[in-house]
Amino acid sequence: MDTGPAQQAPIVARGVRKRFAGNARPALDGVDLTVQAGRVCALLGGNGAGKTTMVRILTTLTRADEGTVRVAGWDVVGQATQVRASIGLVGQYAALDELLSARENLELFGRLAGLNRHRARVRASELLETAGLTEVGRRAVGTFSGGMRRRLDLATSLITTPAVLFIDEPTTGLDPQARHDLWASVRVLADAGTTVLLTTQYLEEADELADDVVILREGAVIAQGTQEDLKSLVGEPRWELRRPTLEDVYLHLHATRPAGAPAS
C-alpha cells in the first residue's frame, strides 16, 4: 500500500555502490549523500569521479547495485513513477527538437507532462519570460546559440515546477556571459525554494552557486560540508590581489557596452 512520501530531506542516499561490467573499479563506492530542502548542493569532481552515475541513480535512470536512495520522499526503485513526477532533470546535452521553435518545444513538454493545451501554452509563456527568451520564442531552436539552448533546456525541466531539480554539468562549453546568465537562473530557482543538485568540474561554479559541496574522487566521497566548512580546512581567510583576466574583461564589456555597439 502506498502511504505517500516519507517526511525527510528531499535527497537521501546511503551506501550507494555501482559497478559497470569491464571496469576494474566501481563507479560509486559506498556514497552517502543528504541534501536539505531549498539548498543547492554541488557534486564536485573530475571526469570519472562518479558524478553523472550518481545523478542517473537519483533520477531513476540507473539502478544502484547496493544502497538505499529516496528522492522527494520516494524510494527510487519501488516508487520510481512518483520520483519522476517530483523532479526535473537537465542532462549534459540539451534534449530539444531543433526543428521546433522554443515555444513549441515548451508546449510539447507541457503536453507530455500532462498539462492541457491551454495550460501548456500559458506555462510556455511564463517559462520563456523566466528564461529571457520571449523575443526569440518563435525561432527554431536550431538557430539558437549554446547559451540560449541551455537556458531553454533548463526551462523545459521546470514545466511542472519540480520540488527537486538535477542539473548535470550545467555550463560545459558555454561562453563566460552564458555561464553567468545560467548561474543567475539557478540562483532564482534556489531562492524560490527549489532543492537543486548540480554536478560540476569547475571550482568557480561550485563556489558561485553551492550552499553545500560534496567532493567525489574515483567513486568515493572524500569531503563534504558547507562552503565555509570546507574552506576552513585549508587555513584562515585571506585577501588575494590578482591581475584581471580576459574573462573579467569580456564580462565587463558585455555589462557596460550597449548591444550592437562596436568594440573600441
- Alpha helices, DSSP H, located in 117-245: 117-130, 146-156, 176-191, 203-209, 227-231
H or E segment and range at residue 11: strand 11-18
The x, y and z cell numbers of residue 133, run together, are 527568451
CA–chain centroid gap for 116, Å, is 27
CA distances from 22 to 25, 34, 62, 121 (A): 9, 30, 17, 47
Model pLDDT for residues 145-163, shown as the tens digit of each residue: 888 898 899 899 888 889 9
Q: Is 227 exposed, middle or buried (0-12, 13-18, 19+ CB in 10 A)?
A: middle
Q: pLDDT tens, position by position, for the chain (264 residues)?
A: 455 565 689 999 999 999 998 888 999 999 999 999 999 999 999 889 999 999 999 999 999 999 999 999 999 999 999 999 999 998 887 789 999 999 999 999 999 989 999 999 999 999 999 888 999 999 999 999 888 898 899 899 888 889 999 999 888 778 888 888 888 888 888 888 899 999 998 888 898 899 999 999 999 999 999 888 888 877 666 777 888 777 777 666 666 655 555 444
Q: Specify the pLDDT at position 4.
A: 58
Q: Contact 41/11 with Cβ under 8 angstroms?
A: yes
In 3D space, the residue among 105, 103, 85 whose CA is nearest the CA of residue 95 turns out to be 105
Q: Specify the pLDDT at position 83.
A: 96
Q: Is 112 exposed, middle or buried (0-12, 13-18, 19+ CB in 10 A)?
A: exposed
Q: Specify the pLDDT at position 264.
A: 44
Q: Angle at Cα 206 formed by Cα 30 and Cα 33, nearest 5°?
A: 25
Q: Specify the pLDDT at position 1.
A: 47
Which residues 6+ apart lie within 8 Å of 156 measured at CB?
95, 96, 105, 106, 109, 127
Model pLDDT for residues 161-171, shown as the tens digit of each residue: 899 999 998 88
The x, y and z cell numbers of residue 225, run together, are 560540508
Rounded-to-integer distance, Cα 51 and Cα 199, Å: 6
Residue that has been written with the C-alpha cell 500500500 in this structure: 1
Tally Cβ neighbours within 10 Å of residue 151.
24
Structural domains of the chain sorted by starting position, each given as residue range(s) with its CATH number in brackets: 11-97+163-256 (3.40.50.300)
Rounded-to-integer distance, Cα 211 and Cα 224, Å: 11
Q: Specify the pLDDT at position 104.
A: 96
Q: Specify the pLDDT at position 110.
A: 93
Q: Specify the pLDDT at position 176.
A: 84
- What is the pTM assigned to this prediction? 0.81
Which residues 6+ apart lie within 8 Å of 228 measured at CB?
none
